[in-house]
Amino acid sequence: MAASDLLVGITDPFLRRTIQFHFPYSLLNITPVCAATEVLVFATTAVSVWLTVAFTFDRFVAICCEKLKTRYCTERTAAVIIGAVSVLGCLENVPLWFKYDSANEFDNLPWDCSVKSTYYTSSAWVAYNVTHRVLTPCIPFFLILLLNVLTARRIVAASRVRRGLRGRSNGENDKDPEMENRRKSIVLLFSITASFMLLWGPQAIFFIFTGIAKVGVDYTPTGYYYITEVTSVFLQLLSTCTNTCIYVVTQSKFRAELMNAVKFPVGVIRALGNNLKLRNESKYIAVCAVI
């Protein structure tokens, strides 16, 4: 999930909104490359959202489904789910490549991306656009909320039983490590749910409102439509950063793995430096022996 969120941060704010905008004559503005960038932006966003759903379902199975837990919560299953979500997320957004046409021509090359007029009039494109919005983020909204409510209810019920068995209902304040782990699980689940719904909510509401109202839109920089759209997109992009921050704050294993990822390049560079140093010393010894 952290990797998919990082890809969203690279493709959308950096490639599409920074490079293409501030460097209009870069290779990214060639029409096929520009269209491919758009597909990549939406694909990484869809993968990020659905991996959040997959993570939520994994926690639901681990906590609420004891019989399924041993078969489902494995590294092999996780790899299969991540691969399937990534492939399906990319395939679902491939049609967006055909949404764009060239706006200009420069050195006999199609330049810039312009939305085809048929995108607004074709019933096929309208159906695809609605399906795309339903898949991301409407269905994930419902699934994440439902699974987290069921998981939290199971944790609370199990915690009450455990407190009763340990005699904690009489007001004792002894610390229970298992209860602390369950409390952290509830905080993690609801933090992810709340951040996802709060940051994706404005864009979902904006899409529904514009689809129902069908009023004239004002795309001027001071128009309410433009400001609302930009704000909703900003919050949606911000959601790709929150999950990683939540993991860093709440999960010690994630922090350990993150530190290992940071230390890995340093270790590789150090190993290469030691090998180079040994080779130089070997050459020096060989030269001295010849002399």
Confidence of residue 92 (pLDDT cuts 50, 70, 90): very high
| Phi and psi, residue 277, nearest 5° | -65, -40
**Which H helix or E strand runs over 165?**
helix 139-166
Average pLDDT, integer, range 13-17: 81
Measured from the Cβ of residue 63, the count of other Cβ atoms closer than 10 Å reads 18
Report the topology of domain 2-250. Answer: Rhopdopsin 7-helix transmembrane proteins (1.20.1070)
Cβ-based neighbours of 44, under 8 Å, separated by 6 or more: 4, 7, 8, 11, 12, 89
- Residue 221's CB is within 10 A of a number of other CB atoms, namely 8
Mean pLDDT comparison of 52-66, 76-90, 146-160, highest-scoring range:
76-90
Q: Would you give the DSSP letter of residue 122?
A: -
Q: pLDDT, tens digit, for every residue of 148-175?
A: 888 888 888 877 777 777 665 555 555 6
Distance CA 27, CA 159 (A): 58
| Dihedral sign, Cα of residue 173, residue 178, residue 181, residue 186 | negative
Token readout for 64 is 């609420």
Q: Pick the more confident residue, 57 or 103.
A: 57
More confident: 88 or 69: 88
Selected residue with higher pLDDT from 33 and 106: 33
State yes or no: pLDDT of 216 exceeds 50.
Answer: no
- Pick from 132, 126, 103, 106: nearest CA to 42: 132
pLDDT at 287 > cutoff 60: no
Predicted confidence band at 81 (pLDDT cuts at 50, 70, 90)?
Answer: very high
Q: What confidence score (pLDDT) does residue 185 get? A: 72
Residue 39, pLDDT score: 92
For the ranges 4-18, 101-115, 129-143, 246-260, which has the lowest average pLDDT? 246-260
Residue type, 71: R
Residue ranges per structural domain of the chain = 2-250
Report the chain's mean pLDDT, rounded to a whole number: 78
Q: What is the pLDDT of residues 28-42, one digit of tens each?
A: 888 888 899 989 999
Single-letter code of the amino acid located at 91: L
Per-residue model confidence (pLDDT) at position 251: 65
Tokens of 171: 């007001």
For residues 262 and 34, the model is more confident at: 34
Q: Is the pLDDT of residue 215 over 90?
A: no
Residues in the chain: 291
Mean pLDDT score, 265-289? 69
What is the pLDDT, as a whole number, of residue 153?
86
Angle 87-55-51 (CA atoms, 0-180°, nearest 5)? 30
Quick one: which H or E segment has residue 174? Answer: none
**In the prediction, which pLDDT does 290 show?**
56
Which of the listed ranges 154-158, 170-174, 221-225, 285-289 does the model predict with the highest average pLDDT? 154-158
Q: What is this structure's pTM?
A: 0.78
